[in-house]
Structure formats: structure tokens, C-alpha cells
């Protein structure tokens, strides 16, 4: 082996990890922010920006942690994380505002507009704020008995026989309680 050369295995081990550095081409940065602004998923926006989405997630987490401090020198690594985090949050807000405005404009005009697509987008992208909320209650044996009692009271004789055979299939319920 000539002097000054290092086996490939050792040179790979010695390389510094670049995952801590936010190294993104400006065009890719703009592509990511625009994709988020237009409603793309986080993963699709990351791949569109030629960057692994898990790496972008790490950068955003660091930016969120550092967001409280504003005393970073401009163009420092910490400042870049914070700027990226704020630009991301702004793009998400712009996407939401665009679709809320579409719904409001369509609601104010008498002609039908395509506001349903905006409503769909908001329900999917921001479910905590815009999706329908369903309350799921636990069904207990007592509630089942109440339903069966109601059905027995309002049923014909033939239906009562069918209900009685169904109740017998449920071992925890007693037919005497339901009748």
C-alpha cells in the first residue's frame, strides 16, 4: 500500500456524520416549503426536496427546541434550524388559511364552488381542528338489555321469538331480565 493512503473501511469510519448539519440546497428548501404550503404530505414534500423525511423531521425538532432563543448569530447552524422550523410552521398556516378562505368564499356566493375539496383537505391535514368528532360510548350489558326490552315491547309475537333465540345465544344476558 502506498504511503498516504488509507484502506476504504478506515476512511469511511473516520468521516464526520453530516446528519447534525442542515445541509439543503436553496432550491430544495423552497421546494419543500412550497410542497407543504400546497398541502403535500410531509414525506412527499421531503422526497420532493431530495432529502430524507426523517432527517427533515430531526431538523424541525431541533428548530422547535431552539425556537425560544433568538440570540443566535445569523447563518449559524442553530439559526438555520429555527428559520426552517418557522418557515415550515408558516407554510402549514398558509395552507390552512387558503382552504378556509375557499370555504368562506363558496359559502358567501350563491353559485356552487369547489369548496368541498378544501373542506376535505382541512379535515385530513388538520383533523384535530376540522374533522367531525364522534363520541364512542362503551356498550354495557345493561344497555344491551335496555335495547332488547325496547324491542320486546314494540315487537310482534314472531319477532319476540326471534329475539328470545338471540338472547339465548348471549350467555351473560338473562332472558328473564329482558322479557
114-139 pLDDT per residue, tens: 677 777 778 887 888 888 776 666 77
48-57 — which CB contacts under 8 Å span 24+ positions? Answer: 49/24, 50/25, 51/24, 55/19, 56/32
**pLDDT over 90 at 3, yes or no:** no
Longest Cα separation, the chain: 100
Pick the more confident residue, 2 or 27.
27
32-66 pLDDT per residue, tens: 999 999 988 889 999 999 999 999 999 999 889 88
pLDDT at 171: 63
CB of 40 within 8 A of CB of 49? no
d(CA 81, CA 57): 11
In 96-173, which ranges are E strands? none
Tell me which of 13-17, 36-40, 66-70, 144-148 is least confident: 13-17
Confidence at 177, pLDDT banded by 50, 70, 90 = very low
d(CA 60, CA 79): 12
**pLDDT over 90 at 90, yes or no:** yes
Among 117, 119, 143, 51, CA closest to 88: 51
- Tell me the mean pLDDT in the region 107-111: 62
pLDDT at 6: 44
State the angle between helix axes of 53-66 and 77-108 in degrees (0 to 180), rounded to the nearest 10.
100
Q: Which residue has the cell 332488547?
A: 148
CB of 109 within 8 A of CB of 47? no
Q: What's the mean per-residue pLDDT of the chain?
A: 76
**pLDDT over 90 at 30, yes or no:** yes
**pLDDT over 90 at 85, yes or no:** yes
Tell me which of 34-43, 82-91, 103-112 is least confident: 103-112
Number of helices (H) and strands (E), helices first, in the chain?
10, 0
Highest mean pLDDT range out of 1-5, 9-13, 26-30, 171-175? 26-30
3-state helix, strand, coil in the chain (%, to 5): 65, 0, 35
- Tell me the mean pLDDT in the region 11-33: 68
Amino acid at each position: 500500500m502506498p504511503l498516504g493512503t488509507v484502506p476504504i473501511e478506515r476512511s469511511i469510519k473516520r468521516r464526520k456524520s453530516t446528519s447534525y448539519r442542515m445541509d439543503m440546497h436553496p432550491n430544495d428548501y423552497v421546494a419543500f416549503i412550497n410542497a407543504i404550503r400546497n398541502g403535500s404530505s410531509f414525506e412527499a414534500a421531503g422526497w420532493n426536496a431530495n432529502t430524507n423525511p426523517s432527517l427533515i423531521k430531526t431538523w424541525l425538532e431541533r428548530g422547535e427546541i431552539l425556537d425560544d432563543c433568538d440570540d443566535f448569530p445569523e447563518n449559524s447552524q442553530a439559526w438555520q434550524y429555527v428559520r426552517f422550523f418557522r418557515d415550515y410552521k408558516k407554510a402549514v398556516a398558509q395552507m390552512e388559511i387558503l382552504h378556509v378562505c375557499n370555504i368562506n368564499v363558496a359559502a358567501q356566493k350563491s353559485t356552487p364552488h369547489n369548496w368541498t375539496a378544501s373542506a376535505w383537505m382541512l379535515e385530513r391535514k388538520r383533523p384535530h381542528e376540522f374533522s367531525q368528532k364522534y363520541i364512542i360510548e362503551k356498550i354495557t350489558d345493561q344497555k344491551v338489555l335496555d335495547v332488547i326490552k325496547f324491542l320486546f315491547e314494540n315487537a310482534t309475537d314472531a319477532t319476540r321469538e326471534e329475539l328470545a333465540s338471540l338472547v339465548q345465544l348471549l350467555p351473560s344476558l338473562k332472558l328473564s331480565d329482558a322479557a
